[in-house]
């Protein structure tokens, strides 16, 4: 009974490990290929070499160290990816570039073949593939025609669910996207498309003017109705306030057409006239000194010491 349990556990472990391994293999794919590189990315030697992109579309980290890359259908182990390089560990959604310059001595990501090699053709097509560590299980491959290749134009995998289907079709990418999301483009920028549709700038001019007038109209409407609202609120407030009765004196002044300030000025003038107000008063005193008279406070001799201190 115990032996049967051990065998069952071993079979389950083998089955799970095989399933995980198979899932890891299906998650790795060749995602983009550029044969002739003239103006796109350069390698760490400052050269423009053909390149291809490997992509991990799964949800688990996969190490492709020890796997094989080849352009020869008869030799699946043409280039072995070194195991010792930590950069061969691909996180979910990560992409790495391999330069097909035929110079494998330059590092891990420089393979020993080129993408324009005509010695390994399959009929009229060139071949690129990636194999697992055994060199027997092909993980992904790509066939392309050198006759249709243009400089700085790549092929990339495309699908309707975010470029993540391994069986997605290959499309031409006029704008290569190394280590980035594949985007199929017409090669025409947005500014160029607008210039083609509106060569004289009439549409964009009318659009800008319409936007400005609409904004001004909305601002005027807001100010108009805001002013009306506050005016109505002010009128309601004044209507609710009680009217205070005016004082008799204010009413008399108002009836005579005189303001309070005018009445006060006239009253002061009459008071000064009838009381004969002058500078000299009967009570009190008045200082009226001549220009040449001085007081003791202004005499500097008064501030001298009578007995100077002798040392």
Q: Which residues contact 127 (CB under 8 A, 6 or more apart)?
A: 70, 71, 72, 73, 120, 121, 141, 142, 143
pLDDT at residue 274, as a whole number: 74
User: Which candidate, 68, 60, 66, places its Cα nearest to that of 90?
Assistant: 60
For 131, the token pair is: 């194999």
Helix and strand numbers, DSSP H then E, in the chain: 5, 11
> pLDDT in tens for each of the 311 residues of the chain?
555 544 444 445 444 444 444 446 778 999 999 999 998 888 889 999 999 999 998 889 999 999 999 999 999 999 999 998 999 999 998 999 999 999 999 999 999 999 998 888 888 889 999 999 999 999 999 999 888 888 999 988 875 444 455 567 788 888 888 888 876 544 455 566 677 677 778 888 888 899 999 999 999 999 999 988 888 888 888 777 776 665 565 555 555 656 677 778 888 888 777 776 555 555 555 555 555 555 666 666 666 666 666 65
What is the pTM assigned to this prediction?
0.52
pLDDT at residue 216, as a whole number: 93
For 21, the token pair is: 């391994």
Task: Count Cβ atoms within 10 A of the Cβ of residue 249 and give its class: 0-12 exposed, 13-18 middle, 19 or more buried.
Answer: exposed
Q: Map out the domains of the chain as residue ranges.
A: 19-187, 189-236
CA 289 to chain centre: 85
pLDDT at residue 253, as a whole number: 56
User: Which candidate, 88, 147, 93, places its Cα nearest to that of 123?
Assistant: 147
pLDDT at residue 24, as a whole number: 60
User: By the 8 A CB rule, do 62 and 21 touch?
Assistant: no
CATH architecture of 19-187: Sandwich (2.60)
């Amino acid at each position: 009974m115990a032996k049967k349990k051990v065998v069952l556990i071993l079979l389950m472990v083998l089955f799970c490990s095989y399933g995980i391994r198979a899932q890891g293999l299906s998650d790795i794919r060749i995602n983009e290929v550029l044969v002739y590189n003239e103006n796109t990315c350069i390698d760490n030697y400052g050269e423009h070499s053909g390149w291809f992109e490997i992509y991990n579309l799964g949800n688990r980290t996969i190490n492709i160290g020890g796997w094989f890359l080849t352009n020869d259908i008869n030799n699946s182990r043409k280039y072995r990816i070194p195991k010792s390089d930590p950069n061969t560990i691909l996180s979910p959604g990560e992409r790495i570039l391999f330069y097909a310059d035929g110079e494998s001595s330059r590092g891990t990501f420089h393979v020993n073949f080129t993408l324009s090699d005509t010695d390994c053709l399959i009929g009229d097509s060139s071949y690129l593939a990636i194999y697992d560590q055994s060199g027997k299980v092909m993980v992904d491959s790509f066939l392309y025609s050198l006759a249709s290749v243009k400089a700085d134009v790549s092929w990339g995998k495309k699908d309707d669910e975010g470029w993540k289907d391994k069986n997605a079709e290959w499309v031409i990418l006029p704008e290569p996207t190394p280590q980035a999301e594949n985007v199929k483009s017409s090669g025409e920028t947005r500014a160029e498309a607008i210039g083609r549709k509106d060569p004289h700038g009439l549409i964009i001019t009318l659009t800008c003017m319409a936007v400005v007038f609409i904004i001004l109209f909305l601002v005027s409407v807001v100010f108009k109705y805001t002013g009306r609202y506050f005016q109505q609120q002010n009128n309601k407030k004044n209507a609710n306030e009680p009217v205070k009765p005016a004082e008799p004196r204010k009413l008399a002044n108002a009836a005579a057409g005189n303001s309070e300030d005018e009445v006060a000025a006239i009253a002061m003038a009459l008071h000064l006239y009838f009381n004969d107000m002058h500078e000299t008063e009967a009570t009190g005193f008045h200082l009226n000194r001549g220009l040449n008279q001085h007081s003791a406070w202004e005499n500097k001799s008064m501030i001298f010491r009578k007995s100077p201190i002798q040392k």
